[in-house]
Every structure is written in structure tokens, then in C-alpha cells.
Amino acid sequence: MQRVRIVGTGSYVPQEVITNADLERLVDTSDEWIRSRTGVVERRRAAKDQATSDLALDAARAALAMAGRAVNDLDMIVVATITPDTYCPSAACWLQSKLGMTHGVAFDVNAACAGFIFGLSVCEQFIKTGSARTILFVASEVMTRTVNWSDRESCILWGDGAGAVILTADGEEDGSPLKHGILATNIYTDGTHGEKLQLPGGGSRTTPISHESVSADLHTLRMEGPDSFKIAVRTWSTACLETLEATGLSVADLRWHIPHQANLRMIEAVAKRMKLQMSKVYLTIHKYGNISSATVPITLDEVVRTGQVAPGDLLMLSAFGGGLAWGASLVRW
Ligand code: COA
């Protein structure tokens, strides 16, 4: 089996900033309520002519440049998204076209906000078994197009952006401890709670889109916020601890926990259950909000580009989202 290593990261967020004050003008809310209940101060919104693959393209180019790799070096493109440009072709195929890549394969992975961990796991399998050598993996979302702007409980949470990694084979496993690379990734789902976080419209259940489906708001996100909060804290922290346990490492060994940035109180509750101090948890929620699958790679890219991770540091990447789906990955940098 091949070892799998992250050799480049990149990210992109659109220019337009939506502040809590902007939302105060839209719904009955306040900057104070949003900050204290969610930790979000502002978020980004894609321009009208930007779709998911456009955001992904900028993140991908930055990751390729950091990795010193060209499009010709790639065997595969994987995109994690729940907001593809179109349902067919996939966002990954649009991205492949934008990169001018006429070889290899490209496809999407959908695990909602946990999409980065699921996509990482998929990419790992291809590289470990020798089916692919170098993969561009991007998580990209235009969440603001799925938002019900009159639902004050959820419209305050979401933003747009993309984060990318270049994954490559790093030599045969030989039983010696891994110096760099992905140590373990665990993914989990429980479809029986699917209704707690869903975008009901647009799929085969409701198409063709009708006046009725639009006026019933079926094409915007619905969330049972407090319920999904409770389930998330329990399952998410357990996934992190199980992933550490699988490698014989402990919370004390972590340099950073880079969790999905859904809600600051949720991140704090997960850290508390893990007995992890918040000084080891990297946060970007205040400036970007919840960008679904893209929050983890955008945050990872910030940690890397600001020089806050050194070779050999242990990083935990983790996420929870609709499905329900959740998971964690341990990376030796
Ligand atoms: N501004 C002001 N008041 C608001 C509000 C807003 N934007 N949204 C809700 N409220 C009100 C509610 O109407 C309620 O009022 P009431 O007590 O008079 O009925 C009160 O605030 C408390 O509502 P509640 O839903 O209990 O708040 P909460 O503390 O659970 O926060 C969420 C709501 C959505 C922020 C929170 O539950 C959450 O983030 N959940 C996780 C959701 C999530 O991210 N899940 C997926 C992970 S990817």
C-alpha cells in the first residue's frame, strides 16, 4: 500500500463581505445574537457570475502552485460539494474543463458539511492502492444560493468559498512510523436523521421544479438547529477520539484541531468532550461562517500559509453535516 501525503493547499473566498449588520436589515436579528450564538461576524458571497467550479479553480491553482505540480501531473480531480454548478455535468468535470485537463477522471462527492473528510477518504483509497498517484481534491460551495433569506435561524450561518489540497503517493508502507502524511481517516453516516438538515427540492422527489415547490421553499436549506447541534457534539467528538485511538496517539499530541466551522459553541462543546484546550483549535468561523465542506480546507490553508504548522506536527481535521455524515482524519504534516 502507498502512503498518502498532502503536498499543497490552496483556498479562495469571494470578495463580497456580508456583515451581521447587513443581516439585521434583512431579518429580525442582531449582531450580538449572531456573535454570541454562532461566533459568525461576517461571511463571503459569490458574485452573480461565479459558480462552484469558478471558486474551485482559484483554490486549485493555488494548491497546484504550492505543490509545484502542473495539471499534467494529475491523475484525478475530486470535488466535494452540495452546490454543484449543475447536477450534470459534475462540478469536478467543469473544473477539469477550466483547467484544460483532457486526461484522467473527475467526479463529485456529496457528504454535505462532512464532504472534505469523505473526499479525503475516497482519494486515499485510490492512492493507497496505486490506482492514482496525484489527485487534486477541492471542496467548493456557493451556500448563499441555497439560503432561505427569511429564515433567521439559518440565513445567518452560511457563506461561500473553496479550499483545495494536492494529494500524492509518498512511497510504499514498510512498517516504519509515518514521518509525513495521512495516518488515519474515519467516516460515518446515519441516514435515519436525514430530515434534520436537508435541501428538499431539486432532486427526483420534487422535480420538475414547480411554482408550488418554489413557494413552499423546497429549494432552500432546512435545519433542525438545536437537534442537529446535540447529535453533532456527541458523534463528532467520538469520531475524533476514535481516530486518535486507532493510531495510538492522544489529544495531547495534537498541534491543531481544524474542525468544520459550523458554530463556535458546537466547536467548543466538541473540544470540551475531547478534553482539548481551545488554544489548539483553529478558528475561521468569525470571518467566513459555515461554508459547508469547504471550511476545513480553507482553514487548513490559512494554518499552512501563515506558517503555523511545522513538519512533523500532528493535525486533526474533522467535520459533521447533513446525511447525517461525520468523520475525522489525522495528518502528520
Ligand atoms: N436572531 C435572533 N433570535 C433568533 C435567531 C436570530 N438569527 N434565530 C433564532 N432566534 C431565536 C429563536 O426564535 C428562539 O426564540 P424563542 O426563545 O423566543 O423561541 C431563540 O432565539 C433561541 O432559539 P434556538 O433555536 O434555541 O437557538 P440556538 O441557541 O439553538 O441557536 C442555531 C440556533 C441554529 C444557531 C444553533 O442551534 C445551531 O447553530 N445549530 C447547529 C446547526 C448546524 O450548524 N448544524 C449543522 C452542522 S453542519
Q: How confident is the model at residue 46 (pLDDT cuts 50, 70, 90)?
A: very high
d(CA 158, CA 146): 9
What pLDDT band is residue 229 in, cutting at 50, 70 and 90?
A: confident
Considering only CA atoms, which residue is closest to atom 10 of ligand 1?
153
Nearest residue by C-alpha to atom 13 in ligand 1: 153
Euclidean distance between CA atoms 109 and 79, whole angstroms: 6
The minimum-distance atom of ligand 1 relative to the CA of 112 is 48
As beta bridge partners, residue 316 has: 257, 330
- Distances 92 to 52, 54, 130, 157 between C-alpha atoms, Å: 9, 11, 21, 26
Q: Answer yes or no: is the C-beta of 236 below 6 A from any ligand 1 atom.
A: no
Backbone phi, psi, residue 302, to 5°? -65, -45
Q: Which residues pair with 139 in a beta bridge?
A: 80, 163
What amino acid is encoded at 269 in this protein? A
pLDDT tier for residue 216 given thresholds of 50, 70 and 90: confident
Q: Which residues, including other chains, have CB under 8 Å from residue 249's CB and lie 6 or more apart?
A: 183, 314, 330
Residue 264 has pLDDT above 90, yes or no: yes
4-169: CATH topology: Peroxisomal Thiolase; Chain A, domain 1 (3.40.47)
Rounded Cα distance, 255 and 304, in Å: 12
Q: Which residues are tagged catalytic?
A: 113, 260, 290
3 state SS of 294: helix
To which CATH superfamily is domain 181-332 assigned? Thiolase/Chalcone synthase (3.40.47.10)
Domains 4-169 and 181-332 share a fold: yes
Cβ burial of 68 (10 Å; 0-12, 13-18, 19+) is: exposed
Is the CB–ligand 1 distance for residue 183 below 6 Å?
A: no
CB of 153 within 6 A of ligand 1: the answer is yes
Is residue 233 scored above 90 in pLDDT? yes
Q: Give the model confidence (pLDDT) of 307-317 as tens digits.
A: 999 999 999 99
User: Which grid coordinates belong to 83?
Assistant: 452546490
Please give the average per-residue pLDDT across 281-296, as a whole number: 98
Question: What's the mean pLDDT when you consider all of the chain?
Answer: 95
Ligand 1, atom nearest to 23 Cα = 7
* Best of 32, 82, 198, 229 for a ligand 1 pocket test (most atoms within 8 Å of beta carbon): 229
Judged by average pLDDT, the poorest of 6-20, 95-109, 220-234 is 220-234
Give domain limits for the chain.
4-169, 181-332
User: First-to-last CA distance in the chain?
Assistant: 19
In short, whether 263's Cβ falls inside 6 Å of ligand 1 is yes
Question: 251: burial class by Cβ within 10 Å (0-12, 13-18, 19+)?
Answer: middle
Task: Please say if the pLDDT value at position 299 is more than 80.
Answer: yes
Which residue has its alpha carbon closest to ligand 1 atom 2?
Answer: 29
Name the E strands within 143-218. Answer: 160-172, 181-189, 197-198
> Is the pLDDT reported for residue 202 higher than 90?
no
pLDDT of 174: 82
CA 206 centroid distance within chain: 27
The answer to whether the CB of 293 falls within 8 A of the CB of 319 is yes
